[in-house]
Each structure stands twice: as C-alpha cells, then as structure tokens.
C-alpha cells in the first residue's frame, strides 16, 4: 500500500471546477461540471462514509460529454482504501467500458485527509458567496467538517 496521493481543487467558475487527482504516474486533471448535480458534496460524503464503513461508494463526475466514475472501496479486513477513476467517452457507462485513469490503494486516513485538505485549501481561497456563484451550490462545509471529524477519529 503506497501513499503519495495528491488532490487539488481549482476555484469554480461558470459551474465548472478543476479537479486534479494524482498518484504516481496516474493523473486525472480536468474541469468537472455541476450540470449533473453537486458532485463536490457527494465526494465529501462518500469519503466520510468509507472512513467509517467498509464498502463501495461511487461518485459520477460530468466532463461534458465525457464522464468519470470515481469509486472508493474498502474491505473489512483492510486499513487501505482503493481509489479508482474511470473515464467514459460519451457519458454512457452502459455501452462502453471505461478507461482507467487512476487506480491506487492507499491508507484510509491518508485518502480522507488528502481530500479534506484539498477542500479546506479551496475554502481558504474563495469566499462562500464566490463559491456559490461559481459552482451553483453552497460550499459543502457540513460534509467537509464531518469528513474532518472522521479523519481525526481514525488517526
């Protein structure tokens, strides 16, 4: 199980936000659309859930016309969590097999803290009003706070 996961979020503009997820040579670096819903809150909620309960949690990111499926998974017998990002070329997961962009297993605390820090970094760079105007949804403060509490409990 390796660490070295890097996550960064850009400042939202016109309902798009740049998301960068990097592990070794595997990189996802693109703008994600809010057209299909508030995937930033869904990411935080999925991470919070996997930090306390094994299972599989999936969040869809819309790139228009492409889509990326982010999967967080963890088994009962492991302190590690698997992060997988698969690109679907035309937003149709039923007809096409996705191309794996990132596939790594990292310590669950490292995974959650890395995303939590990216969210907190973004919160420090943009006001709540500017985030809402740029993304179309409120900053997921409650979900991020919950994720932070889960991280502190897991350390």
| Chunked mean pLDDT (size 10), the chain, 155 residues | 86 96 95 91 95 92 90 89 91 69 94 96 95 96 92 70
pLDDT of residue 78: 80
**What integer pLDDT is reported at residue 69 of this predicted model?**
92
- Identify the CATH assignment for 5-154 out of 3.30.450, 3.30.2450, 3.40.50, 3.30.1380: 3.30.2450
Identify the pLDDT of residue 97: 74
- Helix or strand run (H / E) with residue 74: strand 67-74
Domain chopping of the chain, boundaries: 5-154
For residues 152 and 39, the answer to whether their CB atoms sit within 8 Å is no
Tokens representing residue 56 in the block = 């599989």
pTM listed for this prediction: 0.92
Q: Which residues pair with 29 in a beta bridge?
A: 20
**Distance from C-alpha of 58 to C-alpha of 85, rounded to nearest angstrom:** 10
Question: What is the C-alpha separation between 120 and 72, in angstroms, rounded?
Answer: 20
């Amino acid at each position: 199980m390796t660490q070295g996961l890097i996550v960064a979020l850009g400042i939202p503009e016109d309902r798009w936000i740049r998301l960068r997820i990097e592990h070794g040579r595997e990189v996802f670096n693109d703008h994600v659309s809010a057209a299909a819903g508030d995937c930033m809150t869904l990411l935080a909620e999925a991470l919070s859930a996997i930090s306390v309960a094994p299972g599989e949690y999936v969040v869809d990111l819309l790139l228009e016309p492409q889509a990326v499926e982010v999967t967080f998974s963890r088994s009962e017998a492991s302190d590690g969590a698997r992060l997988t990002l698969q690109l679907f070329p035309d937003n149709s997961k039923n007809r096409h097999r996705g191309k794996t962009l990132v596939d790594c297993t990292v310590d669950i605390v490292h995974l959650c803290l890395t995303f939590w820090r990216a969210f907190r970094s973004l919160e420090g760079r943009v006001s709540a009003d500017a985030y809402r105007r740029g993304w179309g949804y409120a900053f997921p403060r409650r979900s991020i706070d919950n994720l932070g509490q889960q991280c502190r409990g897991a350390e």
